[in-house]
Amino acid sequence: MKASRTNTPATLAGLVCLALGLICIPAAARAQNSGWPGARVALVDFQKAIDLSMRGKIARKELQQTVSAKQQRIEQLEAELRKLESDYREKSAQLAGTGEWDDYQARFAYRVKELRREGEDIQEAVALAERKLTEELLGELTVLVQRYAKKQGYNLVLEKNVTKTLHMAEAADLTDKIIELYDSGALLETKEPKP
């Protein structure tokens, strides 16, 4: 009953970023080919922003504490299952051919199912917590990037890890600035002006 690692924040962030990239890449191509004068294009590495921002570090630490507690419970369940299986082997020799054997087998099978179901529920809870955390952080970062891009006059901001970048000036990578703004809380607490 090992926890699945397919729903890690990195995996979910990658999927969100892939979707953003698939939407934005054609727009970038149109911007360059249409003679979009003065177009400002930049890149942001959302995974780096999540990993290095204070909010991301705190959230990851809290998640690791939750996962650690859940992992301990899974280990307890696995130990209980091993003990049940050992008891089952001992009882099978003692109860074989008696009327109690069928009842014991049914109770054993039911308890094994219960323990496995609890382990699966724990794994699902951990995956859900990881998914919610990633969605929350990406949501906050997306708002921050949109506000910063609008304020700084960027026409297009792409996710760095989704697009195949052939050349990028160092100044076009906004990731460090976004992390700095995210850590300071700037642009997240301001209200968007109404058009």
Across the range 49-68, mean pLDDT stands at: 90
Q: What are the start-end ranges of the E strands in the chain?
A: 41-44, 156-159
Q: Where are the domains of the chain?
A: 9-184
How many beta carbons lie within 10 A of that of residue 92, not counting itself?
A: 13
> What local confidence, expressed as pLDDT, does residue 3 receive?
46
pLDDT (tens digit per residue) in 97-155: 777 878 888 888 888 888 889 889 888 988 998 899 999 999 999 999 999 999 999 88
> What local confidence, expressed as pLDDT, does residue 5 receive?
47
3-state secondary structure of 158: strand
Distance in angstroms (rounded) separating the CA atoms of residues 183 and 103: 60
**Rg value, the chain, Cα:** 26
pLDDT band at 58 (very low <50, low <70, confident <90, very high): very high
Are 161 and 47 in contact by the 8 Å Cβ rule? The answer is yes
pLDDT band at 48 (very low <50, low <70, confident <90, very high): very high
Are 26 and 170 in contact by the 8 Å Cβ rule? The answer is no
pTM over 0.75, yes/no: no
| Percent of residues, the chain, with pLDDT higher than 90 | 19
Q: Indicate the DSSP class of residue 98.
A: S
pLDDT (tens digit per residue) in 174-195: 888 888 988 998 766 655 544 4
Q: Picking from 24-38, 120-134, 155-169, which range would have the lowest pLDDT averaged per residue?
A: 24-38
